[in-house]
Amino acid sequence: MAEASVFSVVVPVEGAASQWFDPASNTSGEIEIDIFCGFMTASAPEGSESFTKVFSGLVDYIEYRPETQVVIASGRDWASRLIEYELSGTSFLNMTASEAIETLASEVGLQADIDATDGLVGQFYQYEHKAHGLSGMHRFQTAWDFCVGMQREYGYDLWVDDKTLHFRSPDISDTVLTLDWTAAVSGSFYPTAPVGNMVLARRFTYSRDASVTVSAWDARQRAVHSATFPSGSETGSSRYNFTAPVGTTQDQCVALARLRFNDLVAHERMIRMTVHPQIDISPRQRIRLQGTGTTFDSIIYTVDDVTFSYGSQGISKSVTLRVRDGMEGNI
């Protein structure tokens, strides 16, 4: 999965010594922002809490309201550098996807934490169809478009943490966080478990007897490559067909068919819920739910997104879960 984070905040500025939100015209005009969160026990002295960075990026938009002395700011994480970096005539000739992504990260001032990939993303362009191949690469308008395109092709995880771009193969370890849901006691307005405000959603249009077929034209061999996942399921109730770029190999079609199938069936089940803010949950983490008494129990989900909300009434954390490995199963 590909992940980019955003923030929105209201900050009081009364008595501020300098207007940090209004940089002078002779500066870079960029406002960097880091957001931290910390907890402490009621008996602990003030200042003893430890803080964890939960966001790092750039401010995109500012509203200053002099009458109320507040600033409303919003922005994105450091993936914005890639989002704003336009590709013009870039072919990545004779480079692997991991090498191309590492090059792009360096060009926008980011560090890179990247797992190696096989195959050359520009391999097809070495041959007699080089001109056509180069123009085909322009379907990636920005560096982020290219990175997301490679993420979808290889099934890797893509995200930016602080100023480091990560392009990693998915975590397939057996480490799974189990969350127990318990119904509130009659007459109580307070949750009795770390999970609350739960919504279990199921979309039957993406049933698991669906199939995905990926086809591509091989100009060198003048042949069509095609693969279906799950194999032998061409007669399923729902059939989806995708066309891959010219030059995609048979093995790549097989891999793409599986990835597209996983993307589709990830929309079949979705869970939204709030969790205790101190529970360490982050995107890409694997979670099992128990206690609802439904078919949603015991399935291994992946965290799609996490939203923090801070205000005068306290802190809340909400998460969205989906099945991301394409197969419902127990561990």
Domain limits for position 189: 177-203+268-322
What DSSP character marks residue 4? -
Any domain includes 1: no
Let me know whether 185 and 317 are in one domain: yes
Let me know whether 311 and 235 are in one domain: no
Any domain includes 330: no
User: Model confidence over 209-259: pLDDT tens digits?
Assistant: 788 999 998 887 888 999 998 887 665 567 889 988 887 888 889 988 988
Give the CATH number for residue 275.
2.40.30.150
Contact of 51 with 37, CB cutoff 8 Å: yes
User: Model confidence over 165-204: pLDDT tens digits?
Assistant: 999 998 777 789 998 888 766 555 555 568 888 999 998 8
| CA nearest neighbour of 199 among 318, 48, 51 | 318
Let me know whether 158 and 274 are in one domain: no
Contact of 123 with 146, CB cutoff 8 Å: no
Least confident of 103-112, 125-134, 205-214: 125-134
Last residue of some domain: 56, 76, 96?
76
Contact of 284 with 319, CB cutoff 8 Å: no
Contacts of 180 (CB under 8 A, 6+ apart): 193, 194, 195, 290, 291
What CA–CA distance (Å, rounded) separates 216 from 289? 40
Any domain includes 329: no
Let me know whether 114 and 230 are in one domain: no
Any domain includes 188: yes
Contact of 214 with 226, CB cutoff 8 Å: yes
| CA nearest neighbour of 57 among 11, 105, 4, 106 | 4
Let me know whether 67 and 44 are in one domain: yes
Longest dimension (CA), the chain: 75
Let me know whether 141 and 102 are in one domain: yes
Let me know whether 121 and 31 are in one domain: no
Let me know whether 65 and 154 are in one domain: no
Question: What tokens does 12 get?
Answer: 């009081």
Domain count, the chain: 4
pTM of the entire predicted model = 0.80
What DSSP character marks residue 86? B
Any domain includes 331: no
Let me know whether 306 and 187 are in one domain: yes
